[in-house]
Structure 1
Amino acid sequence: MSAIELGGGVSWVHECFAETDGHIHVSVYLVDAPEGAILIDAGSFHHRQRLSDRIRDATAGRGIGAIILSHSDYPHSGNIPSFRADWGDFEIVASCGDPELQGLPYARRTRIGDVADVLGRRFAVLDPPLADRNHTTWVYDESSRTLFVADGFGTLHAPGACDIDWGRIPKDGRAEGVHEFHAQTLPWLRYADPDRVMGALHTILERHPPAWIAPIHGPPIAEADVDRYMQDLGNALARIAEHHRR
């Protein structure tokens, strides 16, 4: 499967692996900027060769000119050394103000609230309500109105649904896939107030309305499907919290 175009110069590149009760994506996204190709996250080293081949194909062999990291654990940054060996000393935009603490002393620091110009394209740097590390950031591409998110907004899916966006996943498995992903991946949600989490998410979507939500661990969610996803997510968070209270 080659890169899948979402529009506005953004393409989805992904692999999947088996997880309890379904498959889970490890996605990266290519953004076509005036001064080169930007990669959102670097992916897991387990998928290094396949991701590299697809990126090379999608960029006509030119590779990438920058990476923007959501955070620096291995499923998100594991391929940086090999990609730098393949495509040179490209810019790395870190997900925090102290990249040296992430083992990336050569990366450009970012801070919540910044608007970062990367290869001639503007990204708003956002504080994520759904994350598994405290140094995580989300970014919003102003040109395409794409909201890149980690680690929330994922969905476990059946093996045959690896290459389709969220709205085309069979309805009978969608809501449960949203619940199972968040229950397995973000254990702190059992202690969280679902209404406060959903309120923070709605605020971000109101301030940065997405044509696409682009999760690292799920299929992209089109604008027409965002309300349905948010309803499933709200129900999932309520179930997770209620299960813990029992």
Structure 2
Amino acid sequence: MITTGGTAARRPEPGAGFTMPASVVEIATGLYAVGGGIPAETSISWISEGLRGWVPFQCYVFLGEREALVLDSGLGLHRQCIAEGLDRLLAGRGAPRLLVSRWEPDAMVNLPWLVDRYRIREVLSLGGINPLDFFDGFDAAAVQSNARTQAAPADLVTIAPGDRLTVEDFELEVINPSLRLLLTTWFYERRSRSLFTADSFGFLPNPFSPWPWVARPQAQDVTPQVVEHALVQKFDWLCGAYCDSLIEDLQQLATKFDIERLCPTFGATIEGRAAVEQVFSSTVEALQCLSGQSRRRALADFDWATALSPQAVLRPADLRPIVIPRIAV
């Protein structure tokens, strides 16, 4: 155990004469985070500004004696280190299953080569969306079609909220949270008392290295202001929104499940019952604050008078090419 500044990272114990690569961090017995990190100052719209260090991106592995389940796929940028970690973890076991929390690039971009490299035959994914959402059926059909194309020859197995998935001693319950984008799923694993939250609660970096990280934050690390800033980066529509149902859903989750750990797809894993309670409390307060705010207009700072003045007319000689940086995921 390495503990520094209220955060901790666990490396798996050496076994059979070898050690795990740096891309593998043991979260709990038989539960691993595998991935890498990107510099926290990287300009990505949904990563909180002002972070220092690295933002971890990871998939999670549930490892039994004979079976294994991989949750999400990590970034394409980290393909090599993910392969090194999974090669070591999955050695000597049968083909794992792959569980997808959401069909977005940072969660499923590595799906094709994972299926090929590890002979994955089952990809588990949410098969529909909430009927109260306006695109019921259409979005789900499009996603399923894309999944079949990406995952062939693996079979796509539909899961639904309330389903329970087992991997030997592990049992994951499928959750349809309110704090989400369409077709996003959370999972609660009972043995490790871990809540897997997809793209929520990923606001803590690894301050030391570009690898997955287990954080034990103090209250000042997860204040309502910290959570509010992170929420606005990802869910800017929360400003001025009716958040009572989101708050009620979070409170019900905290009551229903015995949660000792939050495991997002990106950002550090948050460990400790007190830390989890602080995150939920700060999130509730942040949502209450956001619901009372007005949504900022995209052109709020645009100077129309200057833009429409005769002097603002562009000549061909004034035009310059725009270079847009590309970030591999």
- Quick check: 1:35–1:120 contact (8 Å CA) kept in 2? no
Cα distance in 2, alignment partners of residues 100 and 120 from structure 1: 34
1:154 is matched with 202
Q: Structure 1 residues 47 and 99 mapped into 2: Cα distance closer, same or farther (>3 Å)? A: farther
- Quick check: 2:126–2:183 contact (8 Å CA) kept in 1? yes
Matched, 1:80 2:114: no
Say which of 12, 28, 32 aligns to 1:11: 32
Cα distance in 1, alignment partners of residues 168 and 195 from structure 2: 18
Cα distance in 2, alignment partners of residues 149 and 126 from structure 1: 9
Secondary structure of 2:263 counterpart:
strand
Give how far 1:173 is off: 4.7
Structure 2: any 5+ residue segments left out of the alignment?
Answer: 1-21, 129-139, 149-154, 297-329
Secondary structure of 1:153 counterpart:
coil
Secondary structure of 1:109 counterpart:
strand
TM-score (norm 2): 0.65
Secondary structure of 2:276 counterpart:
helix
Larger helix percent: 1
Secondary structure of 2:159 counterpart:
coil
Give how far 1:120 is off: 6.9
Q: Structure 1 residues 198 and 34 mapped into 2: Cα distance closer, same or farther (>3 Å)? A: farther
Say which of 124, 136, 140 aligns to 1:93: 124
Give how far 1:64 is off: 5.7
Q: Structure 1 residues 159 and 76 mapped into 2: Cα distance closer, same or farther (>3 Å)? A: same
- Quick check: 1:10–1:30 contact (8 Å CA) kept in 2? yes
1:201 is matched with 250
Say which of 105, 109, 116 aligns to 2:165: 116
Q: Structure 1 residues 45 and 161 mapped into 2: Cα distance closer, same or farther (>3 Å)? A: closer
What are the Cα deviations for residues 147-201 of structure 1, in whole angstroms up to 9, with x where unaligned?
Answer: 1112212215374376543324x76554354332211012232243344322201
2:312 is matched with none
Give how far 1:138 is off: 1.1
Paired letter, 2:25: I
1:68 is matched with 99
Structure 1: any 5+ residue segments left out of the alignment?
Answer: none
Say which of 133, 147, 171 aligns to 1:104: 147
- Quick check: 1:156–1:178 contact (8 Å CA) kept in 2? no
Secondary structure of 1:160 counterpart:
coil
Matched, 1:237 2:287: yes
Secondary structure of 1:217 counterpart:
coil
Higher-Rg member (1/2): 2
Superposed CA RMSD: 2.8
- Quick check: 1:194–1:234 contact (8 Å CA) kept in 2? no
Q: Structure 1 residues 129 and 101 mapped into 2: Cα distance closer, same or farther (>3 Å)? A: same
Paired letter, 1:238: Q
Cα distance in 2, alignment partners of residues 44 and 2 from structure 1: 13
Q: Structure 1 residues 61 and 78 mapped into 2: Cα distance closer, same or farther (>3 Å)? A: farther
Cα distance in 2, alignment partners of residues 115 and 85 from structure 1: 26
